Amino acid sequence: TLWGTLFATDAAAFDQRLDALASTVCDDDPRTRDQLRSDAMGALAHRQDRLACLCGNQHCLGGIATPSTVVVHVVAHADSVDTPLAQPERSDGGGAPANSPTGVDGGTATPSDAQAESGEMAARASAQHASLDGESPPMLSKPLREMTLAEVITEANADPGEPLATPPGVIIGGPLLPGPVVARAALHAKVVPVVHPGNAPPEPRYTPSRALADFVRCRDLTCRFPHCNVPADRCDTDHTIPYPNGPTCASNLKCLCRFHHLLKTFWGGPRGWHDRQLPDGDVVWTSPSGQSYTTRPGSRLLFPSLCLPTAPVTVTETPTAHTAGLTMPRRTTTRSQDRRQRIDDERRRNEAENEAAAFDSIPPF
């Protein structure tokens, strides 16, 4: 829910803008007018000039959304992004699927049981995806003002609802997203698979590759300093053991915001902060007072496969300590003073050029 106070003229212009965007879809779009206006606010945030039509017709010209100039990173399972109605894979011999589900008793489910379960999951996912559009069913049997508190609590607890057929996703630095919302967002998004590096050897350079950096950010989700929640896409990729003594690999890389990156770099030593990273992504911090803090990857709850151990770190040489002359960089002037200096310098250059041009225009040339 979004609330705001606008001038009357701005509110009228905003209302007309939402109506104009809501009218860019065809009549077969399943969303209601209010839902279209709500999606129009998202289109404004992405600087788009029209909505993508969800009618599903092949000949509809509004099915392609305009490219967004805003990047929002969402981490999700592959089955949340794929089409929910996809049929389960079957073996060539007509037997059980390649990935047969295992029952509680340790036996293997029959093909008919697996197909029935997959079909039920696909149907439930399809119904949940379709429930995003159209009129929502009423939450209560009668208006709230006509009900007592006991009746409201009874009806609210009567039907807890069915579990989601697809796992949720998460916006890096933001809230969780239900599976149907993730699938809707993936319709017109660029989907990049995140590959677990496993026991891959270290990369022979300081800057990690795009795939490795994406894995580290999706694994950590936030800054790994204790009690810091800066989103990972706004953090630096830090070598726990400084390069080149420490390798460029997943077990030696983590996300740190710029402040804590500088703190770790310039406030180490015997009386500073120390960090130690484990192959599963856990980082053990030791404060100057000797207190230890263990931070775990933010993806551990929703995406535990990203926290599987990677290749252990092998250090061939003892990392060299910082020299006595290496200290935290300090500004000699403020940013405001630097900006004022640039403006004054540009004005002096413009003044000199204007004087030269005026002198050249006076005859004789």
Return the domain boundaries, the chain.
1-70, 72-87+116-136+156-191, 210-307
Question: What pLDDT is recorded for position 108?
Answer: 36
pLDDT of 101 reads 33
Question: How many Å apart are CA 282 and CA 133, to the nearest integer?
Answer: 41
Q: Which two tokens stand for residue 40?
A: 């129009």
Q: Tokens 């000199």, residue? A: 352
Query: 313: which residues sit within 8 A by CB, 6+ positions away?
Result: 240, 241, 246, 247, 249, 251, 252, 277, 279
pTM: 0.62
Cα-Cα-Cα-Cα dihedral sign, residues 246, 250, 251, 255: positive
The neighbour count for residue 140, using CB atoms within 10 Å, is 12
Q: How many CB atoms lie within 10 A of CB 50?
A: 16
pLDDT score, position 358: 72
First to last CA, the chain: 70
How far is 197 from 310, CA to CA, in rounded Å?
Answer: 7
Ranges of the chain whose pLDDT falls below 50: 83-116, 118, 121-122, 125, 128, 324
Q: Residue 284, SS3?
A: strand
Beta bridge partners of 170: 75, 176
